[in-house]
Amino acid sequence: MTQHTKQTELSARWWILAAGVATMLFAGILYAWSILKAPFASELNYEASALALNFTLTMCFFCLGGFLSGQMVRRIGTRLTIIISGLMAGIGFVLTGFLGAVNPLLLYLTYAFLGGSGIGIAYIVIISTVNAWFPDRRGLSSGMLMMGFGASTLLLGKIADRLFASAVGWRNTYVIIGIAIAAAVVLSSFVIKAPGKDTVLPQKKKTAKAKSEDFEPRDYTPSEMVRRFTFWRAFFALVCMTAVGSSVISFARDLALSVGSPAALATTLVGVLAVCNGLGRIITGALFDTMGRRFTMIAASVLTIVASAVTLIAVSIGSLPICIAGLCLTGLSYGTSPTVSSAFTSAFYGQKHFATNLSISNFNLMVASFIATACSSLQTVSGGYTAPFILLLSLASVALVLNISIKRP
């Protein structure tokens, strides 16, 4: 391979990363359910419990789609897998725009199954493929991809909210979103590709600040990974951390209203939460590259504890300024979880089976979504947010203990 060819490939990887971030921006609209669910509650009179269940099912199918993506890539290749995922997600959103005031099972089929599965497939294959180009900056690569995914709620969610209230209407908005997702994901399949076998990429250099792990890295198969006790400690730590963000995202607007926020500000705070989510993802990726795995995971747990505690104080005394601080901290802490999941899985269990291993690790989202549903029910039963945040603070503390105990694969 000539020097010119090497430089061309190194330059190309940044274009591949840019394409991945742009695609994740469209795919991340799935997380804007707190905004996208509005017409189903106001116009179609869907019950709150049915809408909460749809988000839980969406996360379940998102995880299942991610697990399926690894099998699809091996059988039909990266490009076709991405194309299929984009079409599934796009069709799911388009069909959601045609739903009426009928049994919510159709919503679960279009938004949760088709939309969730399609985006879950795209999520894993894009992360694993793009990260393969950055063995030297895997944390940064993961963080930028996650930032694009997390920023979608603020950018596209805001646009969708305005279109709902305009002459376009919510039905046409869903159709537009579906077409945009399909177009973005399908087009990305012609840019995002795995590095060739002969491609020589820069390797990660040890820094003075980052402490190296005291083990020899190797590639673990999925079956080997799930038989490791360390994996399950990390998995349940991620469940506890993710549950905090998932719960707050599901009722962020109502939470802000409960402490005296004006309606317009409450809607804006949902977007602020998403911005902090995106920032948390890229900051965590940079920390992985500079400070190492152990420091980053413990710091993420501490941040989650602080976020839960601050928000608990806010709802206990009814303080809007403290609530805003709590929401910002929660967004940052929630942004750490997907980046930790990606970077930890790669660092501990290798790159060879990374796509499948990451999809298994991401099942923490499914478990956390059920905790989020439980927190919503607890809020309804107790009539306030104090009890849910006591539970979330306890879970965040458990995550810290688990992360401290993780030392070897």
Q: How many whole angstroms separate alpha carbon 292 and alpha carbon 191?
A: 31
Q: pLDDT per residue over 313-347, tens digit each? A: 999 999 999 999 999 999 999 988 888 888 889 88
Taking only Cα atoms into account, the Rg of the chain, rounded to an integer number of angstroms, comes to 20
210: in domain: no
203: in domain: no
Q: How would you class 191 by CB atoms within 10 Å of its CB: exposed for 0-12, middle for 13-18, buried for 19 or more?
A: middle
126 and 246 fall within a common domain = no
Q: pLDDT per residue over 66-124, tens digit each? A: 889 888 988 999 999 999 999 999 999 999 999 987 788 999 999 999 999 999 999 98
C-alpha closest to that of 367 among 251, 239, 241, 247: 239
348: in domain: yes
* Domain around 374: 219-409
Helix, strand, coil % over all residues of the chain, rounded to 5: 80, 0, 20
244: in domain: yes
281 and 327 fall within a common domain = yes
176 and 311 fall within a common domain = no
Q: How many domains does the chain have?
A: 2
Find the helix or strand (DSSP H, E) in which 341 lies: helix 320-349
8 and 116 fall within a common domain = yes
182 and 315 fall within a common domain = no
Final residue of a structural domain among 175, 193, 211: 193
162: in domain: yes
Residue 380 sits in a domain whose CATH number is: 1.20.1250.20
Q: How would you class 244 by CB atoms within 10 Å of its CB: exposed for 0-12, middle for 13-18, buried for 19 or more?
A: buried
126: in domain: yes
Would the pLDDT of 232 be above 90?
A: yes
Query: 150: which 2 tokens?
Result: 């997390």
- Write the CB contacts of 196 (distance below 8 Å, at least 6 apart in sequence): none
35 and 178 fall within a common domain = yes
Q: State the Cα torsion 287-288-293-298 to the nearest 10°.
A: 30
Q: pLDDT per residue over 30-68, tens digit each? A: 878 878 888 998 888 888 778 888 988 998 899 899 889
230: in domain: yes
402 and 294 fall within a common domain = yes
- Write the CB contacts of 12 (distance below 8 Å, at least 6 apart in sequence): none
- Write the CB contacts of 75 (distance below 8 Å, at least 6 apart in sequence): none
401 and 253 fall within a common domain = yes
Q: pLDDT per residue over 209-227, tens digit each? A: 555 666 777 889 999 999 9
291 and 394 fall within a common domain = yes
Q: State the Cα torsion 372-373-377-382 to the nearest 10°.
A: 0
52 and 144 fall within a common domain = yes
173 and 244 fall within a common domain = no
Final residue of a structural domain among 193, 210, 235: 193
The CA distances from residue 45 to 48, 93, 253, 282, in Å, are 9, 19, 19, 39
Q: How many whole angstroms separate alpha carbon 322 and alpha carbon 260?
A: 12
Are the beta carbons of 73 and 359 closer than 8 angstroms? no
168 and 300 fall within a common domain = no
Q: pLDDT per residue over 158-186, tens digit each? A: 889 889 989 999 999 999 999 999 999 99
Residue with tokens 């939309």: 115
Q: State the Cα torsion 58-106-34-242 to the nearest 10°.
A: -10
Mean pLDDT score of the chain: 87
Final residue of a structural domain among 158, 193, 228: 193
Query: 97: which 2 tokens?
Result: 């725009």
Are the beta carbons of 343 and 204 closer than 8 angstroms? no
DSSP at 190 = T
Residue with tokens 């099912």: 57
The model carries a pTM of 0.79
Query: In this prediction, what percent of the chain has a pLDDT beyond 70?
Result: 93
Q: How many whole angstroms separate alpha carbon 61 and alpha carbon 72?
A: 16
208: in domain: no
